[in-house]
Structure 1
Amino acid sequence: MRYFIHLAYNGTPYHGWQIQPNAASVQETLNKAFSVLLQSEINLMGAGRTDTGVHAKEMYAHFDFEPSFDIPNLVHKLNSFLPKDIVIYDIIPVHDEAHTRFDASKRTYEYHIHQVKNPFLEELSWYFHQPLDVDLMNQAAQLLFNYTDFECFSKVNTDVNTFDCTIFEAHWTRGVANQESNQLVFTISANRFLRNMVRSIVGTLVNVGLHKITLDDFTKIIESKSREKAGFSVPAHGLYLTKIEYDYISQ
């Protein structure tokens, strides 16, 4: 029997989702918890790989397990067993061919920036105090819809068959409450993302907001397919995976 796990985590203490030698990962932490409580070796397959320090407000993983178990009881035990920075929301029975990575139809990320120093946002948002032209950044973000090849925003030497992605949403918003008016959030949705894609898009859009590059420059960067021409990669701790959608799961 295959199960999807609906979870979230604060990525600050972890070297990303994926298991790696001599470093704490979300996947390894979950594998240990499930294996102990189900008394069987469990190896989770995640919907994607988040980098060191990146957070997930919504993440899915799947595992196979034949004996039946009480789902609410296991969720409760897992949340008692796991560290405070990981939460399990639900465990969902799915068909045997279901796959959290390959079956996802849409993923959404947010990137958070605060422009006034705030100790309560450390490791949860990027502090960037320079003034930004948010209207111009939104105009640049709209240009993303004109393209599908985003090689210029991909980590170099990555093992992918295509750099094509279909972007469904891309825009900046500013907090409306007084204490949030200095906070910016970039939201982007697509059918898939390349490694480091969101952080390099944000870095390039920040250069637009600083008037270091023009809208025409932004277009030329995309068409160049060159990572060297795109902007810097913003810090990981401002990035959140916020939603993953599947056609066969009600959300």
Structure 2
Amino acid sequence: MRYVLKLAYDGTAYYGWQSQKVGNTVQQAVETGLKRVIREDIRVMGCGRTDTGVHAKEFYLHFDWDGIPDERFVFRLNNAVPLDIAIYSCFPVKEDFHARFSATYRKYEYHLLRVPDPFLRNWAYFRFGELDLPLMQKGCEFLLTCTNFQSFSKVKTEVNTFTCKLMECRWEEIDGHLIFHVKADRFLRNMVRAMVGTLLDIGSGRMQLEDLPSVMESGDRSNAGKSVPARGLFLTEVGYPWEKYLIHE
């Protein structure tokens, strides 16, 4: 039987989601927790591969298991994983569900502080200096018309296409706290952090808004802004056509 876990995590202490030989990862922590609960080695597949220090408010994974979770399964699993990981639910899905490839969209937020706050140092990036927020919004409006995001992709990334369909791209300001919202059918590696860095260059005057079209047309990562730190980035929503995959008892 295939099951889905819905969870969230603070990525501060982890070398990203995906298991690797060196460094603690969220995937390794979840798989270790599952083994403690069900006494079997379980391999999980996540909905994405967040980088070192990136957080997730909503994350889905799937795993295959012959057992049946009881009503205390989620409670026991939460006790078996570190406190910076929270398991919200576990439910069965059809065998053709895939946490990564069945997703139709993902949404991210990037949190930016205008005033330094020691209590938010692991979850937001403090940027010193004035920013022209309306100009940054205009940059977002232009990006919504783009389809090729090679200029925001990490160099030497092996992908079949740099095409992404943006569904949302905007800034929000709440009490001096800036939040960048972006939603797309898919994302390239490092894409969101590069987008934010470029928009901040426009807002600070380091880059002219009129130069953004040529930056995007060039497909050259070096023409875009520097990537902002990972600590301000959150995966906040993953969309699926659940009516296609849920098992109705």
- TM-score, length basis structure 2: 0.96
| Runs (5+) with no aligned partner, structure 1 | 176-180
SS at match of 1:62: strand
Matches within 5 A, 1:136-175: 136-175=135-174
**How many matched pairs?**
244
Name 1:178's counterpart in structure 2. none
Indicate whether 1:234 and 2:228 are aligned.
yes
Name 1:92's counterpart in structure 2. 91
1:67 alignment partner AA: G
Matches within 5 A, 1:62-211: 62-70=62-70, 72-175=71-174, 181-211=175-205
2:143 alignment partner AA: L
1:231 alignment partner AA: G
1:22 Cα deviation from its structure 2 partner: 2.2
Taking the aligned partners of 2:111 and 2:67, their CA distance within structure 1 comes to 42
- TM-score, length basis structure 1: 0.95
SS at match of 2:170: strand
Taking the aligned partners of 2:92 and 2:82, their CA distance within structure 1 comes to 24
1:95 Cα deviation from its structure 2 partner: 0.2
1:69 Cα deviation from its structure 2 partner: 2.3
SS at match of 1:231: coil
Indicate whether 1:219 and 2:213 are aligned.
yes
Q: CA RMSD in A?
A: 1.0
| Deviations 1:1-38, CA, capped at 9 Å, x for gaps | 10111000000000000111120000000011101211
Matches within 5 A, 1:29-48: 29-48=29-48
2:87 alignment partner AA: I
| Deviations 1:156-205, CA, capped at 9 Å, x for gaps | 11111000000000000000xxxxx2210000000000000000000000
Identity of aligned residues (%): 44
Taking the aligned partners of 1:120 and 1:53, their CA distance within structure 2 comes to 16
Whether the aligned pair in 1 keeps the contact of 2:197 and 2:226 (CA below 8 Å) is yes
| Runs (5+) with no aligned partner, structure 2 | none
Taking the aligned partners of 2:166 and 2:37, their CA distance within structure 1 comes to 40
Taking the aligned partners of 2:157 and 2:167, their CA distance within structure 1 comes to 23
1:42 Cα deviation from its structure 2 partner: 0.3
Name 1:9's counterpart in structure 2. 9
1:155 alignment partner AA: K
SS at match of 1:12: helix
